[in-house]
């Protein structure tokens, strides 16, 4: 059995689909379906079982699972809102929950592959997996940063696989439930459908209109990294998961406009509430990931957005 927490979510459901394609169908999906529309992400997934997060956590604490039947745990469940400032809520969901699951896996030598985030780097311009480059700008980033520090203290003594994956800006199918936290590619596509134009922020932090840069990674490429670590259980550590090249928000908007063949870009004032809490530049340093042997290339924005919009506009043509 493989356990995927956050299994009904964006990356989690894409991971389950790819695991299915590789012949894995004994999968326990764990999630919180209070936001019930997420069920749509699991309709075409083959599962052994589904459990609510709290039920799963209770069973974990009481050791109700047969550890020898668990091949690996992919821990993707978390509150992923970068605008959430309830620190107690974030620490319970992103830190305490992760520690309980980690300790369970370490005690039973179960591979543990979890989601970290590029938000741990904050406003830095060097995105390398080193403590000196990490300074989160928001509470979400801090919750991920703190768990990474907890992991680092245990890597040298661990007798089973531990892998942290620092996701940069992931976009692609099955993110429609995320609302405001969905990718800009998703929102640009919807804006074009409903308004005939795409809205981008005006310049900030020394960047001109729409020229803020992020490392945008297609979800299928992010999932491929997860699967590679599953197939290489001796590889451990914390690694960036991005393309290794930044592209502008204008690039994403133009890729959407190109796919549709119509529309324009409108620049809007940069929101005051994001000043000082916004990453205007990210670019994954992939040195460590490549050095341990990860071989696969990553799609450009133009390639990934084209594939994404082929899917999005055939399955959710007008969904907000």
Dihedral sign, CA of 12, 15, 17, 23? Answer: negative
Q: What is the mean pLDDT of residues 173-201?
A: 95
Q: Which residues pair with 283 in a beta bridge?
A: none
- How many percent of the chain have pLDDT more than 90? 82
What percentage of the chain carries pLDDT values higher than 70? 98
pLDDT value, residue 121: 95
Using 50, 70 and 90 to split pLDDT, how confident is the model at 317?
low
- Average pLDDT, stretch 245-253? 98
User: What is the Cα–Cα distance from 17 to 8, expressed in whole angstroms?
Assistant: 11
Confidence of residue 319 (pLDDT cuts 50, 70, 90): very low
Neighbouring residues of 190: CB distance < 8 A, sequence distance ≥ 6: 319, 320
Pairwise CA distance, residues 259 & 311, whole Å? 12
Question: What dihedral do alpha carbons 29, 31, 36, 37 form, nearest 10°?
Answer: -60
Structural domain 172-214+245-282+300-315, CATH architecture: Alpha-Beta Complex (3.90)
With cut-offs at 50, 70 and 90, classify the pLDDT of residue 270.
very high
Is 140 among the residues known to form the active site? yes
CATH 3.30.56.10 correct for 2-169+217-241: no
For 112-142, the pLDDT digits (tens) are: 999 999 999 987 889 999 999 999 989 999 9
Q: Which of 114, 140, 145, 167 is catalytic?
A: 140
Structural domain boundaries of the chain?
Answer: 2-169+217-241, 172-214+245-282+300-315
Active-site position among 178, 235, 266, 267: 178
């Amino acid at each position: 059995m493989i356990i995927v927490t956050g299994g009904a979510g964006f990356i989690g459901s894409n991971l389950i689909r790819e695991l299915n394609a590789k012949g894995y169908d004994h999968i326990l999906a764990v999630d919180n379906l209070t936001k019930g529309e997420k069920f749509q992400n699991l309709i075409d997934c083959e599962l052994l079982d589904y459990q609510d997060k709290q039920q799963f956590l209770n069973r974990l604490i009481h050791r109700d699972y047969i550890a020898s039947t668990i091949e690996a745990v992919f821990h993707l469940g978390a509150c992923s809102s970068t605008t959430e400032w309830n620190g107690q809520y974030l620490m319970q969901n992103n830190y305490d929950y992760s520690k309980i699951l980690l300790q369970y896996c370490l005690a039973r030598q179960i591979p543990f592959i979890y989601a970290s985030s590029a938000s741990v780097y904050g406003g830095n311009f060097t995105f390398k997996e080193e403590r000196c480059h990490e300074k989160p700008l928001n509470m979400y980033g801090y919750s991920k940063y703190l768990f990474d520090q907890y992991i680092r203290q245990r890597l040298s003594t661990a007798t089973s696989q531990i892998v942290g994956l620092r996701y940069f800006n992931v976009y692609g199918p099955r993110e429609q439930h995320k609302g405001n936290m969905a990718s800009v590619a998703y929102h640009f596509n919807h804006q074009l459908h409903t308004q005939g134009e795409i809205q981008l922020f005006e310049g900030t932090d020394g960047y001109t209109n729409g020229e803020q840069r992020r490392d945008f990674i297609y979800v299928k490429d992010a999932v491929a990294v997860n699967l590679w670590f599953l197939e290489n259980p001796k590889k451990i550590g914390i690694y960036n998961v991005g393309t290794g090249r930044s592209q502008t928000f204008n690039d994403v908007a133009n890729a959407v406009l190109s796919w549709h063949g119509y529309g324009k870009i409108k620049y809007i004032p940069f929101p005051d509430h994001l000043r000082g809490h916004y990453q205007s530049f990210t670019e994954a340093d992939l040195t460590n990931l490549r050095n341990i042997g990860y071989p696969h290339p990553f799609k450009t924005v133009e390639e990934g957005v084209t594939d994404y919009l082929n899917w999005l506009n055939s399955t959710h043509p007008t969904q907000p």
